[in-house]
Structure 1
Amino acid sequence: MLTKKSQYAFKALSYLADKQQDGPVLISEIAKKKRIPLKFLENILLELKKADILESKKGKGGGYFFKKNPADVKMATIIRLIDGPISMLPCVSLYFYERCKNCDEKHCGLNDVMKQVRDATLQVLENRTLKDLQD
């Protein structure tokens, strides 16, 4: 399940993608239009800026805008950045692998099923971009 933080990130990013031709967008505008708490949104956008997905401009005409083309940013990238692992179990995660306690992965039916779930989920998220979220 996506956290509220990821949901807000996707809402903000889809709004920025829609407004991309208009130049930088104020945080307050995004927060108001997408009904995202301002302080929460500030932290999210800062994380996206640190990850080189967004850029910001200060002063008159300032705000946030895309550093990367939304068509080049995969949904999986945003989820991993904001929430961490996409997989439901740490023992099947591609980027955040952790061995499960008291488990033999070679003979674990749950591990096998969760790998299939992970692969099916990634098939969608790795092939969809922020451009696909535009309203």
Structure 2
Amino acid sequence: MISQKARYAFHALVALARTDSLMVGEIAAQERIPRKFLEQILLELKRHGIVQSRRGKFGGYGLLMPANRITFGQVLRILDGPIAPLPCLSKIAYRRCADCQTEENCEIRRVFAKVAESAREVLDRTTIEDAISNNGAAGTAVVKGLRGADAGVH
């Protein structure tokens, strides 16, 4: 499950992708996000080079990276951390599970490794632009491709 912070970030990024620049208050009102919380989210995204802020009469926030280069996986990792259902499956915050005898023989790890890889595949291929155009068809195509690849394995 993703955090509310990440959900708000995705809403804000989609709103910014549809226009050149928006004030924090405009995004907050349009997307129904608490303003103070949104300010924190946008500052974090700014620190990671996703958005930029401009001062002045025509100021506000805008995307620093093109919407077709901002992936859901990238944003999720910035705001929520590793994309892994088990700590032993994390690529950036690996930690051995407390009850684990051996990872190689862990049935639970094998199942969740497939889940994690499928999730990463979709999240790392789906961009903010994909979410706007064709209602996220790129992510849907990836999911359908994964389902097709696993169709013969039960």
Which bin holds the TM-score, normalised by the shorter protein? over 0.9
Identity %: 40
Between Structure 1 and Structure 2, how many residues are aligned? 132
Following superposition of structure 1 onto structure 2, how do residues 47-58 of structure 1 map, counting pairs within 5 Å? 47-58=44-55
Residue 24 of structure 1: how far off its partner (Å): 2.0
Structure 1 residues 22-68: Cα deviation after superposition (integer angstroms, max 9, x where no partner): x3210000000000000000000000000001000012110000111
- Contact 1:70/1:129 (8 A) holds in 2: yes
- The SS at the match of 1:126 is helix
1:7 corresponding residue in structure 2 = 7
Residue 97 of structure 2 is aligned with which of 100, 119, 124? Answer: 100
TM-score using structure 2 length: 0.83
Gaps in structure 1 of 5+ consecutive residues: none
- The SS at the match of 2:37 is helix
1:117 corresponding residue in structure 2 = 115
Greater Rg, structure 1 or structure 2? 2
More relative contact order, 1 or 2 (CA 8 Å, 6+ apart): 1
Residue 89 of structure 1 is aligned with which of 86, 89, 102? Answer: 86
Question: How far apart, in 1, do the equivalents of 2:93 and 2:31 lie?
Answer: 31
1:59 corresponding residue in structure 2 = 56
Structure 1 residues 71-122: Cα deviation after superposition (integer angstroms, max 9, x where no partner): 0111100000000011111101112211111302111111111100001111
Residue 72 of structure 1 is aligned with which of 69, 73, 76? Answer: 69
Residue 24 of structure 2 is aligned with which of 22, 27, 33? Answer: 27
Question: How far apart, in 2, do the equivalents of 1:10 and 1:76 lie?
Answer: 11
Question: How far apart, in 1, do the equivalents of 2:49 and 2:6 lie?
Answer: 17
Residue 131 of structure 1: how far off its partner (Å): 0.7
Which sits farther off after the overlay, 91-100 or 4-13?
91-100
- AA aligned to 2:58 is G
TM-score using structure 1 length: 0.94
